[in-house]
Amino acid sequence: MPPRKGSTYKGITTSDVVSRYKQGQTMNQIAYHLDITRQTVAKHLSRAGIEPRPRGSLVEDEKLATMKELRAGGMSYGMIARQVGLSDNTVRKYLRENP
């Protein structure tokens, strides 16, 4: 039986998921950190009326500029990732695709 609206699963609320998503985390990252499935994340976002971001839209121009600046200053991918709220691999990918 699906949970009732407003109920929690594993203590996780829709607002928990929405908050992380608005901070820039992907559905897969949210699922991993909250120990739920990607489908559950999608259901929470749908319930909140949030459309999923198109693939490839994770990094806005401002965030990419910040990442480039930090990398030029000698910061590691991991440190940049923690600073901008993305995974190491995402930072590495965007910086290699956008020199």
Q: What is the pLDDT of residues 65-74, one digit of tens each?
A: 999 999 999 9
Query: In terms of domains, do 41 and 86 share one?
Result: no
Long-range pairs, 4-7, Cβ under 8 A, ≥24: 5/47
Give the Cα separation of 43 and 62 in Å (integer). Answer: 29
Range of 89's domain? 61-97
pLDDT tens profile 23-53: 878 888 898 989 999 999 999 999 999 988 7
Taking CA atoms, 23 is separated from 73, 98, 99, in Å, by 24, 22, 24
Q: Give the pTM.
A: 0.51
Query: In terms of domains, do 91 and 48 share one?
Result: no
Query: In terms of domains, do 70 and 39 share one?
Result: no
What single DSSP character describes residue 67? H
Query: In terms of domains, do 49 and 79 share one?
Result: no
Query: In terms of domains, do 41 and 2 share one?
Result: yes
Structure tokens of 24? 């820039």
pLDDT at 3 over 50: no
Query: In terms of domains, do 2 and 44 share one?
Result: yes
